[in-house]
Structure 1
Amino acid sequence: MEIPAGKIVMFVGPSGCGKTTTLKMINRLIEPSEGRIVVDGDDVTDMNSDTLRRGIGYVIQAGGLFPHMTVATNIGIVPKMLGWDKARIAARVDELLELVSLDPALYRDRYPKELSGGQQQRVGVARALAADPPILLMDEPFGAVDPITRLRLQDELINIQEELQKTIVCVTHDFDEAVKLGDWIAIFNEGAQLEQYDTPERILGDPANEFVENFIGSGAGLKQLTLTRVADVGLRAAVVGNPGERAADVLARVVEAGHGHAVIIDERRRPLQRLSRRELGRLQVISDIPDPKLPVVGIRATLNDALDTMLVSSAGAALVTGRRDMFKGVVDVQTVMDAITRSQAAAGLDSDQAPVGLNTGLFQAQASAAGSDPSEIEGSGDGAGAVQ
C-alpha cells in the first residue's frame, strides 16, 4: 500500500489485527521481519533509526508527556536534540502552543499533572510537530479523553492539517472517527490482512466484502452524514459584542437584528459567551469571563458533531469557529436537519449509479510469495512524506 503525502490515512480493524504494529514499523519502533518500508524513496531499514525517528512525529494515547518536565521542555525536547538554540526553541514552543489553541503565557511553564487530559493531548501533538516533521504517526491519540473533548481534539487536528498539510497515519478503533478524519481508510482483518483501502465515501457506499460490511455495521447509511461538514452548510450571522461594552448597547443591536442572542468575542474573535436577551437585560457591562459550557464546533466538524454539541448543551444552535478558534457564525438545528434531508435525497438519486469503491492508483494488492518486491504503484502521493 502507499500512503500519499499530505493526506490523513486511518488504520482501523479489530483488536490484534496489526494496526499498531504496522504503524510502529514505519519509524522502526518494531523492526520489520521481511518486506520493505519506503519513505520518500528511502528504505527505512537502511537509515539510522534515531535520525529516522527525529524526522517523524509520534503521538500516543494520553500524550505520553514526561511528568518531570514543563510543557515548554516537553515540546522542545526534539529541537534541543537537533541542536537548535534556546531562542529558536522558545519561539517554536510558543508558535505550537498557539497552533493547538493553548495560551503560551498560561501553559508553557506548567507541568503535565496541572493539565486536563485534553490539554495533555494537545501538548503531545505540539511536541510531535516541534521539529516540523513531514510525517506524523498517531496511535489512538484521542482514546483516553471524554467524548466532548474528543470531538474538539478531532476538530483541532483537522484545522492543523489544513494549515500544515502533514502526512498523518492514525490508528483508531472508532470507525466514525476514521470517517471524520481520514482522506483514506485502511481496514485490517486478523493477521494484518488488508481488506479495503479506500476513501470513506467509497467504503460506506460499496464495501469490498462481507467483513468490511459487518465491520461498518448496519448504520452505514447514517454514517454517510458524517461526510457532510459544517462548512458545507450555510452559517447564520450573529450579533457580536465585546467585553467591556454596555450590555444595553449590545441588547439594542440584538433587538434591531431580530435575533435572540448575542455572541461575545475577545480581541482575537474567539467566542467567550452566548447571551440571551434576558441575560443581557440583567447586565450592566459585558464581562470577559468565558463560558466553559459554550456550544462550539469547528468549521470542519461533521453535522453529527454539531447535533451532538447542541443536544449536550441543550442549545438550539452551536457557535462555529475556524482557524485559531476565530468565530465564523452560527449553525442551528433546522439548518442541520435541512442538510440531512438534502443528503438523504441525493443518496437516493445516486443509488442506481455504477458501483464505486474500486481501489485504483493508490492501492494494489497481489497474492505474492513472501519476500517478493512490492508491486509498482503509479499516479499518487508524489512529494515529501509519502510512505510505501
Structure 2
Amino acid sequence: MRIIPSNRIRALLTLVPVLFGQNAVCQETEDPDDIRSYLASGTFNGEIGLVSISHEYRGSDDDRGNALGFLQLKYKSIDTLGLHWGAWWYGVQSAWEMHPGDYDRLCKADSSLRECFVSWTIPESETTATIGRFSMRQTTIDGRSHQGIQLISTDIPDITLRAGAFHRWSRYNRIHVNFQGMTGWYEVDAVHEDAGDLFWFGSIRKHGQDSDYVELFGRHQDKVMSVIGTEWNYSRPVSSDRRIGVDGTFAYFENAWPDRLQPEYEDAYTWLIHASLKTESLSFGIGWHGISDHTADIGVGPYFWIDPLIVDDTLPYNDRNRAQLFYADAEASLGMIDFNFAYGYGINNAIEVNSHEFNATGKVHLRQDLSFEIMVSWNIYEGDTLADYVRTGTLLTFEF
C-alpha cells in the first residue's frame, strides 16, 4: 500500500479554507440569479452580545477582567447531490478591561474563521466526508476548531464509525459564559521539534436503548503520544418520571516523547465514573475522577485530560499527576431558568495540595432569541502553594 506523504495531506487540508478566504466558492460563469437563489436557499444566522470574565486571586496581583462585545455569523448551504458547505466567523472588541493589557492577554486576535468546510455524503450510503475547518473536539482532544478531514459512517445498524486527522487547531475561539479568549491557530507539530505534523483519531460507538452507548477510541501523534480508551453511558427508568444511570471514561496515554527531550516521561492513565438520578426537570449526580501516579503531560498540544468541573488547576498540575477528584453535581430547569451546580474535592499528592471547587451557573431565557447567563467558580487551595481565586462570567446573547 502506498502511503501518502503527510505534507501532501496538509496541502489538501489547507485548500478549502484558502478557497473560501478568497471568495472562490464558484469559479464557473453562471447566471447570477441562479447563484443568488442557491445562496438564499441556505441557512444564515448569527449572534450579537456582550461577554465578561474576571479572575480574582487572594493575596496576588494577578487579578484581571474583561468585557467584550461580539458578533457571530454562520452560513450553511443546502444539500446538492450530497454536497454542502458552511462557514462560521466571529469577532470580538474590547468594551472594558480591569487593567491595561488584560484584553491583549486574553485575545491574541480580534476575529476568527472558526469553520469553513465542505461535506459530501456518499450516494446511497450514510457515510459523510468533511474537509476544511470545523470542530473535531472529542474526549481527550482539545480545541474548539480544527483544520483537517473527518469521515463519519452510520451504515452499520446501531454503529457509528469516525476517523480523521488534522494539522492545525485553535484552543479557544468560542463564545461561552466561561469565556477563555481567542488564541489563534497552532500547528500540531509545535509541541516540539520532532513532533508529527498530523494528529490522527478514530472511534467506534455501539448504540443501545435510548441514549445508551459504549465507545472505543484512539488518538495518535508521532513522537508525542498515543491514547486508547473507552467511554460509556447506561441508564434505566425506575419509575414513570425517574431514571438512574452511570457514565464514565477510561483513557490510557502511551508516551512517545524522545528520551533526549523528556527522559522522565512515562505512560499514564485517567478515569472517570459518574452516577446520576434524573427526573424531567432535575438531575443529581456523584462522580470520581483520577489520574495515575506517573510523570506525563497528558494535556500537551491538542491532547486533553478529563475534567468534569470548570477550573481546578491541580488535576493535573502540568505533568505532575497522582491526583483524584470526588464531586457532586446537580441541574434544574424551572420555567425560563436553567441552573447548574457542582462541588469537587480534589487531592493532588504529587504537589501535596488539596482543593475545593464550587461552581454555579444560571441561564435565563428572556425571549426565544434573547438569553442571559452567569457563572461563578470558587477555588480554594489548602496551604500556600497556590492562591485561592474566584472566576466570574456573564453572557448576554441576541440571536438573529
TM-score of the pair, normalised by structure 2: 0.24
Higher RCO, 1 vs 2 (CA within 8 Å, ≥6 residues apart): 1
Q: Pick the structure with more strand per residue.
A: 2
